[in-house]
Structure 1
Amino acid sequence: MAAPIDDFEPRVVLPGDSLTGYISGGGELHNQIILGPGLRQDEANICSTKAGILRRKKPHTFWIDCHQKRYVPAKGDKVLGIVTQRAGDIFRVDIGGQSNATLSYLAFEGATKRNRPNVQVGDVLYAKLLVANRDMEPELVCIDSTGRSQGLGVVGADGFMFQCSLGLVRRLLSKDCPIMKLLNENIPYEIALGMNGRIWVRAKSIRTTIAVVNALANCEFITDEEIQIMMRRLVNGLAGF
């Protein structure tokens, strides 16, 4: 029997599990749901392709939350990439996928043929995936639909970028993430979260930057209570107590 959509609860699933009735609530929302990573639709059947926890974001977005480091590009994802090559009018950017992404020099705020962006090989970019499918190279942009950067572009060279699991990034992006709330309340810093499992951090000093990076990396496998204890020690340590 199908579970009503309003009674949804996270559940553990395995590859190949049929989730059609559980996700669509008996079919009344079958044409409105959005399937995220780990879910696949074959005609009328929805099944899981990964082992993990089935999650839901209201109203009708579903995905499988699992410990995964391999990134599969998806349209609309904001990612952190490293410029590896400059070829004519495009840059090639490593985003951790199976192939490098391309980025036009015109895909920056205010860029024209005469006013080209100052992007060098080795720079770290925060960009959005405009095109992402298995038959084409991923394509990035550093502007939104109105032509504004909205925080996208080359991030500061004095920050620090590290690799983590995709599940940790999704946890940090959630509204009720305790570590992000505590960091925002106690430490001034800048952060860019890439859906490809990369996080860039910059604080007022190298010492503080390393402390924030360690706190973020350690919070993946500890409870909310342990996060609070860790943050108290971190804040006291930075204050010299």
Structure 2
Amino acid sequence: MSPVLPGEYVPAQHVNLKLGPGLLQQYSVNGQPVVVSTRAGDVQHSTNRSRWWIESNSRRYVPAPQELVVGVVVGRSGENWRVDIGSAHTATLDGLAFEGATKRNRPNLKVGSLLFARVSLAHKDMEPELECFDAQTRKAEGFGELKGGFLVHCSLKMSRLLLDPLHFLLPLLGSRFSLESAAGTNGRVWITAKDPRQVIAVSRCIEGVDPDGGGMDEVAVKKFLSTLDV
């Protein structure tokens, strides 16, 4: 992790390189591809170094291709749905962008429905587009409508931490009680559990661990959970 300013070069290299918010691939004078930062912040990358992005204190989500998001359906336009993903513009979701969807067989989404989706197109001059299936298998793979449950809002940094399989919080909570979750890079986390008290506990833990909130570590979370009847 190192701080950068807009316009600085970032040493992002990988066979399957995927760039997230704050990074842009350009070409140098000699025609070689280079990665340049478009915002100030800290350079971050996934464990295998295939995904790179700039972490900043912005609360506004900037969509990037292939990122996972939790959205809320806010309207319908013809055969498409308009989805709020917390960005400057609403995203578009095609009615056929679901596993096995046809013109006669498609999900019956309503205003207020929650979705777990993937950003299929993101460009600064266009509205982002979403899909609810895996790009390679064309299967749902967990994407689609999220029924029931509770939506937690957190910082963009916290949502990315929850997407890291090495982060302690969700495995720790899952070892204590059964729960389901869907974390998006847009600062939204959907959770559901059998007992409402467990849902509240998960929500409080996410808020407590959030770097923009309490910044609790694993020891502090365990101590906090020991005070709850869950």
TM-score, with structure 2 as normaliser: 0.84
Instruction: Give, as a single letter, the amino acid of the residue that structure 2 aligns with 1:53.
Output: D
What amino acid maps onto 1:87 in structure 2? S
- 1:118-197 aligned at under 5 Å gives the runs 118-144=108-134, 145-157=136-148, 159-197=149-187
Of 104, 117, 124, which residue of structure 1 is paired with 2:107?
A: 117
Return the offset for 1:116.
Answer: 2.6
Quick check: which has more Rg, 1 or 2? 1
Matching residue within 22, 25, 48 for 1:38? 22
Post-superposition shift, 1:35? 3.8
Q: Tell me the percent identity.
A: 40
Mark the CA change 1:220 to 1:136 in structure 2 (over 3 Å): closer, same or farther: same
Letter in 2 for 1:77: E
Question: CA distance change for structure 1 residues 30 and 107 in 2, over 3 Å: closer, same or farther?
Answer: closer
**Structure 2 residue identity aligned to 1:146:** T
Structure with greater strand percent:
2
Number of residues of Structure 1 aligned to a counterpart in Structure 2: 221
TM-score (norm 1): 0.80
RMSD: 2.5
Residue 207 of structure 1 deviates from its aligned partner by 1.4
The equivalences for 1:92-103 within 5 A come to: 92-103=82-93
Q: Contact 1:186–1:235 (CA<8 Å) still a contact in 2?
A: no
Which amino acid in the other structure matches residue 19 of structure 1?
Y
Of 190, 207, 226, which residue of structure 2 is paired with 1:200? Answer: 190
Deviations along 1:24-74, one digit per CA (max 9) or x if unpaired, are 6xxxx5998654322345533654333332223334543222222111111
Separation of aligned partners in 1, 2:61 and 2:158: 13
Rounded Cα–Cα distance in structure 2 between residues aligned with 1:191 and 1:111: 24
**Closer, same or farther: CA 19–206 of 1 in aligned 2, 3 Å:** same
In structure 1, the residue matched to 2:31 is none
Q: Does structure 2 retain, via aligned residues, the 8 Å contact 1:68–1:167?
A: no
- Gaps of at least 5 residues in structure 2 are 29-33
Q: Kindly tell me: are residues 61 and 106 of structure 1, through their superposed partners in 2, closer, same or farther at Cα, counting changes over 3 Å?
A: closer
User: For the structure 1 residues 38 and 88, does the alpha-carbon distance in structure 2 shift closer, same or farther, using more than 3 Å as the test?
Assistant: closer
Residue from 54, 67, 79 that aligns with 2:43: 54
